[in-house]
Structure 1
């Protein structure tokens, strides 16, 4: 791994930190926002206050695929940083609920675009043996952003200064913009735009060796085939689209969004009282999330994608099942079980469904549909994320919180079955090798295998 490829991954990961901060900071800001905007008896609007960023994320991911094809992932990440900064200022100066929702939806556009563009950029510049770890760096930055959001909640909990909680997001936004300016563009994007000599020089700087001519020829041949979202519905590409979309759908249906966005509400349900108690417990969960994701970076290119997904989903299902009686019954023992269950879920998620959908998404789409395919997969993630987050208060009020967590446990079991049957192992394979298997008609489950 070269210094440049590491630097590209590090700076691009800042967009992940912004995604985490923008989505996580609402956990502690929701209560003072609700109070200031007078939304105590408006559950639907409270849900929209939280979930509007996810609606924006859906559209950001959809349109990012088309935009990045024309301007390249590097310039797209600069644009994303600018949008984050503008939205941050807009939210912090909002005086009413609907302007706040509009600015937060704009932030969501940058959030959704980041989850598609950053993994694409890193995936196209990382060596195969380090690709999983470097893309997982995006998820690590995301979890660090969530933790920073929780720490901002804690810092301003007594004063309930939600404006500063949200305004601080402008700082890493501007760092992302400045950091991306001197970096190089993706060599694959440069090659497809006709800059062959520049692409070869960039590849040599990133990889440390010359770009094999056969791989360049394959990229050019594949890229000359114009593609749009309809091509992904054809029999050849449909299986990889389904794998990417359903992995993200299961990620957001597993219960992670409810835990991350409504952690203080959940901790209040299991016995943490006062203003600081639930937020302190939330910070603890955020810290566990970061530490487990660091472990995932080390594990993903050593043990592979499938073993981590399977090994993570089993305890995730168990943890969600443990939450059901913990919420049904009262007492210190049940409260302790809830804490153990939440910690177990976060650790298991952080080494499996947290980073790996981003890694697999960046690997399995062929070059001519990569931007569009990753955009659709990320959009599906944010659509499901928005559905779960916006409806949480209403679902909990209608069916009860124990039933909601029981549903999450069932979804984790279904996700486990899906992974066992359909998800390929792509560890150590180049993007061109994976694409060659897809073009040759190999089943999606076997895309990472070596064939004679």
Structure 2
């Protein structure tokens, strides 16, 4: 039986030609859906990025140690781990739309809670609750977008969620830089409530996905949504393809957990978990959460370090836009491999820069290398992994399997966030970033061997290809 690597580009059928362009109304509908649903990604980005600016002030306010910084930072991430697991189950049981509504409500409550928290335990608990929303949105939003997008737009539309994540982080850095002058860290945290309310209200006007409607025996509603996203002549064929995939799965289905025991599905799940780990062990969130702390080790002051991180956010947004433009043309596997190579090289040089004498020039050299690393990361690995996780699992277990992979992603993220401040103090920044460079090399070997190529195929056709490639 062949391993997952047989799902490489040579193992898949040629991509079908894109359908004829949709009319203007369909385009407006797709854009509106993407804009509203991806608010979940923006909140994900804001709530993970804002802590970098709030931490220096919370450290003084609460008297935090390095471990305490790690605990407050990582409380959101352990909540996100459980939220991603629950989000996958909710998406399958309640629907993608209802689950997004739930996420919007919890985002609002969590943002208010962290802004008003009077003590470290209350802050930790509030960030855990906020993490439940972050984790569920990290599963549900790309799942929703992947299932409602036409095949020829799926890569760009799902990657739009990645763009919104980094845009949310950039917004957090900008807010941090402005409010740092008044040490207004509670406002930094609490402003996330505004887009959370917008997400909740916007989702009220969205439909669920055609694939979820078909799975619940509601083909008329599925067809109604398809007519708003595809040319009229393509709707019967797409509806038939979705229904055919459902019929095949229903003949063998005895519950999602049983489906995960099928060898080819289990293999895909293990590859998805591996990709989730790769995204985290290569250091991205150490930079996102602790950029001001990292820059402070080179002698840069707190306000200047917080302001300097705007460059990290700005390049992340631009790089994600580049990744979106390439993902459907270049493919997922090549993008991952190019990115990991560039990340490894930039991290090796970054680690060496910390061994230079402290000076303003060295501080800005470190910032430039962090920006270069984030450019490679956001244009390739971040965009590619989220898209693959939204595409590669069969319909019956898509929410559950993606939730399981993202659960592991958040657990690894939790470990990095908890351990990074302690490691930074114990081993120094240079050795820490060299360790991340080594993880990039190992991740490159993993992606070359196991990452599937999913470019250009409808989700149902892709499922059949991956089933055959896995011997299922």
TM-score range, shorter chain: over 0.9
Alignment of 1:28-67 (within 5 A): 28-39=53-64, 42-67=65-90
Q: Aligned equivalents of 1:38 and 1:397: distance in 2?
A: 17
Query: 2:329 aligned with 1:302, yes or no?
Result: yes
Give the gaps of 5 or more residues in structure 1: 445-452
- 1:316–1:349 Cα contact (<8 Å) kept: yes
Deviation, 1:441, is: 4.3
Q: Aligned equivalents of 1:340 and 1:214: distance in 2?
A: 48
* Counterpart for residue 152 of structure 1: 175
* Counterpart for residue 245 of structure 2: 218
The C-alpha deviation readout for 1:260-287, integer Å capped at 9, x for no partner, is 0000011112342x23210111011111
- 2:211–2:242 Cα contact (<8 Å) kept: no
Provide the TM-score with structure 1 as the length reference.
0.94
* Counterpart for residue 227 of structure 2: 204
- 1:226–1:368 Cα contact (<8 Å) kept: no
* Counterpart for residue 320 of structure 1: 347
The C-alpha deviation readout for 1:92-140, integer Å capped at 9, x for no partner, is 1111111111111101001010111001100101111111111111110
Identify which of structures 1 and 2 has the higher relative contact order when contacts are C-alpha pairs closer than 8 Å and 6+ apart.
2
Give 3-state SS (helix, strand or coil) of 1:354's partner.
helix
* Counterpart for residue 369 of structure 2: 341
- 1:52–1:101 Cα contact (<8 Å) kept: yes
RMSD over aligned CA atoms reads 1.6
Q: Aligned equivalents of 2:408 and 2:127: distance in 1?
A: 19
Q: Aligned equivalents of 2:345 and 2:144: distance in 1?
A: 35
Deviation, 1:233, is: 4.3
* Counterpart for residue 370 of structure 1: 398
Q: Aligned equivalents of 2:274 and 2:356: distance in 1?
A: 34
Provide the TM-score with structure 2 as the length reference.
0.90
Structure 1 residues 89 and 331, CA, compared in 2 at 3 Å: closer, same or farther? Answer: closer
The C-alpha deviation readout for 1:36-91, integer Å capped at 9, x for no partner, is 1122xx32222111111000000001111111212101111111011000111111
- 1:61–1:113 Cα contact (<8 Å) kept: yes
Deviation, 1:331, is: 4.9
Among candidates 80, 83, 91, match of residue 68 of structure 1: 91
* Matched residue count: 441
- 1:326–1:335 Cα contact (<8 Å) kept: no
* Counterpart for residue 449 of structure 1: none
Give the gaps of 5 or more residues in structure 2: 1-21
Alignment of 1:181-330 (within 5 A): 181-208=204-231, 209-212=234-237, 213-223=240-250, 225-229=253-257, 231-272=259-300, 274-330=301-357
* Counterpart for residue 16 of structure 1: 41
Higher mean Cα deviation, 414-423 or 50-59? 414-423
Deviation, 1:443, is: 6.8
